[in-house]
Amino acid sequence: MSNADTGIARADLFPEIAPYATGMLALEAPHTMYWEESGRADGVPVVFVHGGPGAGATPTHRRFFDPSHYRIVVFDQRGSGRSTPLAELDGNSTAALVADMERLRVHRGIDKWVVFGGSWGSTLALAYAAAHPDRVLGLVLRGIFLCRRSEIDWFLYGMRTVYPEAWRKFVEGVPAAERGDLLGAYYRRLTDPDPAVHMPAARTWSIYEGACSTLLPSPETVATFGEDRKALGLARIEAHYFTHHVYAAEDDLIGKIDRIRHLPAVIVQGRYDMVCPIVTADELHRAWPEARYIVVPDAGHSAMEPGVRAQLVAATESFKTLR
């Protein structure tokens, strides 16, 4: 499934496009989910699964796919982005998000689709595929995250070994007595109904993640993560999942690989990904050697890192043979 296999050598994103259809899909109250389609209406369906949880999708995410070939489905997970209510935690769980994806597939009259997800999106993509393998044509996964306690502890405490400056800013707003449980301290603040309490916490959490997401400093990335809507959705929903929806060892997604082993898959991982360290992608690959595993030697976590971006586009190009 390499560029050599397809004769295609495209190193960057496709041009900007606008959706030809958008809508709001009613879920269980109080949730409604934003969705959109772009590209070729009769093309091969592909669904983009955003990260976070809670980050929401952007127009840039349409551009990983050739619009002359793919029917590009993008949606904001419940509580995220343009879905409503923003940052709503009630009824927000991995099982609910998997069910939402399946409801969207049926709603749009899609038989099977390619599933493309990075970071938390890789978690949800794997969970969806394991639940509905007969509805998946293939998987493109990036920056592997499996929502396990060790990964969350790394995010909260381990990243300070590489980004001590960003981590100090992350803990500055938490009294010293509470720093032994940063997740609990942040969760209390992020779920406080007073914006004067939850918004500073949300911005600090989100900016911390953004600052650690690229191999080289990216003020643009940090600024994006600091925007109020993105920060609130990302921080509050991440803290919610990290508190209530961690995968236990007996329910680990790697234990479900046999359900999807037959599906074509590409795993793209930045060597210096500090948000979702490569050890998790390596473990996934060892459990699933049939998947094509690409380590980008000069990249961090972000899908916008040049090497990661190029490999993701190459993966979607290689999947043009799927029907």
pLDDT at residue 4, rounded to an integer? 32
Instruction: Find the angle CA(205)-CA(206)-CA(207) to the nearest 5 degrees.
Output: 95
**DSSP three-state, residue 175:** coil
- Residue by residue, pLDDT tens for the chain (323 residues) are 333 333 344 568 999 999 999 999 999 999 999 999 999 999 999 999 999 999 999 999 999 999 999 999 999 999 999 999 999 999 999 999 999 999 999 999 999 999 999 999 999 999 999 999 999 999 999 999 999 999 999 999 999 999 999 999 999 989 999 999 999 999 999 999 999 999 999 999 999 999 999 999 999 999 999 999 999 999 999 999 999 999 877 678 999 999 999 999 999 999 999 999 999 999 999 999 999 999 999 999 999 999 999 999 999 999 999 98
Residue type, 70: Y
CB 238 within 8 A of CB 205: yes
CA–CA distance, 296 with 196 (Å, rounded to integer): 41
Q: Which domains does the chain have, with CATH numbers?
A: 3-148+247-321 (3.40.50.1820), 149-244 (no CATH)
What are the two backbone dihedrals, phi and then psi, of residue 218, each rounded to the nearest 5 degrees?
-135, 90
pLDDT at residue 10, rounded to an integer? 55
Q: Residue 265: name the closest of 64, 135, 114, 120 by CA.
A: 114
**DSSP three-state, residue 22:** strand
pLDDT at residue 312, rounded to an integer? 98
CA–CA distance, 44 with 58 (Å, rounded to integer): 21
Evaluate the CA torsion angle 85, 91, 94, 97 in order and state its sign: negative
Going by DSSP bridges, is the β-strand pair 136-142/265-270 parallel, antiparallel, or unpaired? Answer: parallel
Q: Would you call the peptide bond into 264 cis, given omega within 30 degrees of 0 as the criterion?
A: no
pTM of the model: 0.95
Q: For residue 268, what are the β-bridge partners?
A: 142, 294
Other Cβ atoms within 10 Å of 289 Cβ, number: 9
pLDDT at residue 7, rounded to an integer? 34
* E-only strand ranges, 127-230: 136-142
Residue type, 187: Y
Per-residue 3-state assignment (H helix, E strand, C coil) for 214-251: CCCCCHHHHHHHCCHHHHHHHHHHHHHHHHHCCCCHHH
- Residues with a catalytic annotation lie at 119, 273, 301
CA dihedral 47, 49, 54, 56 (to 10 degrees): -50
